[in-house]
Amino acid sequence: MGGNVAAQHDAVPLLGVRGLTKIFGSLTACDHIDLTIAKGEVHALLGENGAGKSTLVKMLFGSLEPHSGDILWNGEPVRITSPGVAKTLGIGMVFQHFSLFEALTAAENIALSLDDGSPISTIAAKARALSYSYGLPLDPDSLVGDLSVGERQRIEIIRCLLQTPQLIILDEPTSVLTPQEANRLFETLERLRSEGKSILYISHRLEEVKRLCDRATVLRHGKVVGHCNPREETASSLARMMVGNEVKAVVREPAEGVETAAVLLEIRKLSRKPATPFSVPLKDIDLDVRAGEVIGIAGVAGNGQGEFFEAISGEVQQPDAASVRIRGKDAGKLSITGRRLLGAAFVPEERLGHGAAPGMKLSENLLLSRHATDARSFLGSGGTIKSAVISGAAQRIIQAMDVRKSAPDPEAASLSGGNLQKFIVGRELDRKPTVMVVNQPTWGVDAGAAAHIRQALIELARSGSAVLVISQDLDELFEISDAIAVMHHGQLSKPLPIAEADFETIGLLMGGAEPGRTEHPLEPA
């Protein structure tokens, strides 16, 4: 009898969602969603950019209020009116956009959210122990501002685990991780599952969903279009369910005559002292990117890619003007605008706050980034703003990149992560820059849109521009690059032509091996 009761109890899902609906203006972002998650289940939430995944999980975490519908926790209806209520119930969340204070240490950030009055040293010790026991090593005393995106994510995960949740929601956790870091995370998640925790997992990487998840719910335009066992699907059948049709493969014809084409971006003996004790010094980097080619930069997070991007884009200027040359002109001492005026375009890794001002409309963001380069078309005499021209350009970008949104000209912060990324990349592509430098071009972008962005970068190069792509997604680099260089400890390897590159060679270089050596030091730096 007792056993029966236990069995019945086990059959009650940990989480039940019935008819959950959220409306923004004229857009129904979540439309009568039904979903259950059992104890110990890893459940994937799939859907293209703007399908409503983040909106759904924000309602489950109490950061958005549903318009209608029910949430059941262990079979009982609950109202999750705030993240505090969610945490008390046992729901933890790792957000897509991190909510960490850069000027504080990892431990201080964790202390702020735990809010239980424990001394920082106790919290730091707990965080360190937990992070090592779950295979996600973290130095609690490091300043968040000095950490890579991958390391920041570890803080978010540890912060979530310290609250001993029963359901952990992860919104695109691996999009910023290297293959090795992602593997570690999967081990952590598998261990959590074996401890009986449930996981709701949002990802655009369908292979990892197949590897990790027991069940999947697929959303399209805010509605559930199906539930499935991802292990019984292929990556392309999952993509088809999400998008509603086949995803086009990226086509990369070999670049013709690049060896003799003009060098449009030239990096010479670029060195940078570390700005803080935690940043990575750059050492004597040399690189040529010629008209017509895409060069990819691979590397484990935190090996100087961020510092390299800052030095090329002008976020940080160089003492030696000739260390960065754009179209044959010394640019090392120029500001970002000065370099943009030479025909370069830059897309940083962090889209909110860095790539776009969250509280400003898309058209305002467009004016903000292109007012100098496009002054002739965007500004009238005496500096008046030509609103109609700017709105027209914003609409052109929105259409070209298929940006899905809830208003004609919404604020950047209201776009789904992937749609904002599409807009930012589109804003730069629209200028047809002579030199394009992109850091993580498809972070959080769905399979269809990622293929669109990758194809657009190849086509920009083939139309005569020089394209430099920094990415932690090795598949992406192999898909689009004509040659791949690897960044390790602030040094850049010689670019390896794609015909000579394979995953193993690049992986070894990422781990710091000399080319030709055969050991396997694939640990993150």
Q: Is 419 in the site for ligand ATP (CB under 6 A)?
A: yes
The closest alpha carbon to 71, from 29, 24, 14, 27, belongs to 14
Single out the segment in contact with ligand ATP by CB under 6 A; choices: 73-81, 333-341, 403-411, 489-497: 403-411
Rule CB under 6 A: choose which of 39, 53, 290, 370 binds ligand ATP. 53
Q: Least distance from C-beta 51 to ligand ATP, angstroms?
A: 4
Give dist(CA 150, CA 183) in Å, integer.
Answer: 13
Beta bridge partners of 346: 437
Q: Least distance from C-beta 363 to ligand ATP, angstroms?
A: 16
From the number of C-beta atoms within 10 Å of its C-beta (0-12, 13-18, 19+), residue 487 rates as buried
Rule CB under 6 A: choose which of 405, 452, 462, 488 binds ligand ATP. 405
- Do 370 and 378 form a contact (C-beta atoms < 8 A)? yes
Single out the segment in contact with ligand ATP by CB under 6 A; choices: 154-162, 258-266, 413-421, 473-481: 413-421
Q: Least distance from C-beta 412 to ligand ATP, angstroms?
A: 10
Q: State the Cα torsion 370-424-342-316 to the nearest 10°.
A: 100
Q: Least distance from C-beta 84 to ligand ATP, angstroms?
A: 20
Residues near ligand ATP (CB under 6 A), total = 22
Q: Least distance from C-beta 77 to ligand ATP, angstroms?
A: 23
Q: Is 478 in the site for ligand ATP (CB under 6 A)?
A: no
Q: Is 508 in the site for ligand ATP (CB under 6 A)?
A: no
Q: Is 365 in the site for ligand ATP (CB under 6 A)?
A: no
Chain Cα centroid distance, residue 509: 23
DSSP strands (E only) in 179-277: 198-202, 215-220, 223-228, 263-272
Give whichever of 109 and 416 is closer to ligand ATP, judged by the CB atom. 416
Q: Least distance from C-beta 180 to ligand ATP, angstroms?
A: 24
Q: Least distance from C-beta 53 to ligand ATP, angstroms?
A: 4
Both structure tokens of 196: 């009986």
Q: How many helices (DSSP H) and strands (DSSP E) are in the chain?
A: 18, 21
- Do 301 and 472 form a contact (C-beta atoms < 8 A)? yes
The closest alpha carbon to 316, from 368, 370, 365, 270, belongs to 270
Give whichever of 326 and 347 is closer to ligand ATP, judged by the CB atom. 347
CA 335 → CA 161, 315, 317, 344, 383, distances in Å?
42, 7, 7, 12, 21
Give whichever of 315 and 411 is closer to ligand ATP, judged by the CB atom. 411
Give whichever of 408 and 515 is closer to ligand ATP, judged by the CB atom. 408
Both ends of the chain: CA-CA distance in Å? Answer: 56
Q: Is 52 in the site for ligand ATP (CB under 6 A)?
A: yes
Q: Least distance from C-beta 423 to ligand ATP, angstroms?
A: 11
Rule CB under 6 A: choose which of 43, 197, 220, 404 binds ligand ATP. 404
Both structure tokens of 216: 């999947």
Give whichever of 295 and 424 is closer to ligand ATP, judged by the CB atom. 424
Give dist(CA 403, CA 458) in Å, integer.
Answer: 20
Task: Map the footprint of ligand ATP across residues 445-474, applying CB under 6 A.
Answer: 446
Give whichever of 128 and 351 is closer to ligand ATP, judged by the CB atom. 351
Q: Is 220 in the site for ligand ATP (CB under 6 A)?
A: no
Question: Residue 170: in which H helix or E strand, if any?
Answer: strand 167-171
Site track 11-50 with ligand ATP (rule: CB under 6 A), x = hit: -------------x--x-x-----------------x-xx
Could you tell me the sign of the dihedral formed by the alpha carbons of 398, 399, 401, 402, in that order? positive
Q: Is 440 in the site for ligand ATP (CB under 6 A)?
A: no
Residues that bind ligand ATP (CB under 6 A): 24, 27, 29, 47, 49-55, 404-406, 414-419, 444, 446
